Amino acid sequence: MWKKCPLSARIGIAIILINIIAAIIGPGLTPYSETEIVADVWAEFSAETWLGTDHLGRDMLTRLLYGARTTITIAFVVTILSFTMGIFLGFLAAVVGGWVDQLISRCVDILMAFPTLIFALMVLSVLGTSVPILIGVIAVLDATRVFRLSRALAADIAVMDYVEVARLRGEGLFWVMRREVLPNAIPPLIAEFGLRFCFVFLFIAALSFLGLGIQPPYADWGGMVRENGGAISFGLVAPLVPAGAIAILTVAVNLVVDWLLHRATAKRGH
């Protein structure tokens, strides 16, 4: 499959793998701790601090690697949770139909009626900004988007002959959802997973930038942009380092998603 990948997808996969490896083993290779002050404020690049230092004199490379572990891990966990909830409820609504479909759909409509960022800010301001609450709030909000796609896919699949045959054989609801609906909905759901991961990743960074995401002293890329924003006034590039990391990973995931969508479309065309 690697040989058939276009260059853009290969670049995207390579960048994603580099970020995953950096998040897993990177913090263990750094000579400094996440909160250790190692030099002057906003020191320039040097042999001791390859990417300079932040607004407190902490090593930017170390913070970037710790931030990768925090931000990417939380974004991945949130995306998994949102897909688990969204797919289950979407398939349930489409396969069962009737009042179950109406009840779930109307609840989702209520959640989607609020602007996502404003709703998240309101809930986090009331409940607090601990990591479990952050994960739960974003997962529920993102699950509404996954529900819409899952329901639409399952509604088309549920009327197919092989699904009716399974029902006539006496197969249960969850068997039909797991063995008949899910396998035929996987390609678009995989592509959607990449898109939703990008959204969650950027959303966490945005919340941290606003001060309601991952809290200090823990490093995360959105918070690093906020903390070092004042360096721009002095012509320094400190905030551009985490901002660039966010942009590069987002572009890489989208390159892979575009390739997956193209493959799925080509297969349906055949």
pLDDT at 19 over 70: yes
Identify whether the C-beta of residue 219 lies closer than 8 Å to the C-beta of residue 34: yes
**Is 119 inside any structural domain?**
no
Task: Please say whether the beta carbons of 16 and 252 come within 8 A.
Answer: yes
Q: Give domain status of residue 115, yes or no.
A: no
Is 145 inside any structural domain?
A: no
Domain holding 15, by residue range, is 7-81+158-269
For residues 34 and 218, the answer to whether their CB atoms sit within 8 Å is: yes
- DSSP per position, 236-249: --TTHHHHHHHHHH
* CATH code, 201: 1.10.3720
Above pLDDT 90, what percent of the chain? 37
- Domain assignment present for 33: yes
- Which pLDDT score, from 0 to 100, does residue 266 have? 61
CA-wise closest residue to 156 among 205, 218, 94: 94
Q: Is residue 129 part of a domain?
A: no
Contact status, residue 133 vs residue 127, Cβ threshold 8 Å: yes
Phi and psi torsions of 39, nearest 5°: -160, -170
Q: Is residue 162 part of a domain?
A: yes
Residue 74: is it exposed, middle or buried by C-beta count within 10 angstroms (0-12/13-18/19+)? Answer: buried
How sure is the predictor about 2, in pLDDT bands with cuts at 50, 70 and 90?
Answer: low
Q: What's the pTM value of the predicted model, to 2 decimals? A: 0.88
Decide if 183 is inside a domain: yes
Angle at Cα 221 formed by Cα 220 and Cα 224, nearest 5°? 90
pLDDT tens profile 208-259 = 888 888 888 888 899 899 888 888 888 888 888 999 999 999 999 999 888 8
pLDDT digits (tens, 9 = 90+) for 61-93: 999 999 999 989 999 999 999 999 999 999 999
Report the pLDDT value the prediction gives residue 117, as an integer from 0 to 100. 86
Answer whether residue 165 is part of any domain.
yes
Dihedral sign, CA of 37, 29, 132, 192? Answer: positive
Q: How many domains does the chain have?
A: 1
* Nearest-10 crossing angle of helices 131-158, 116-127: 140
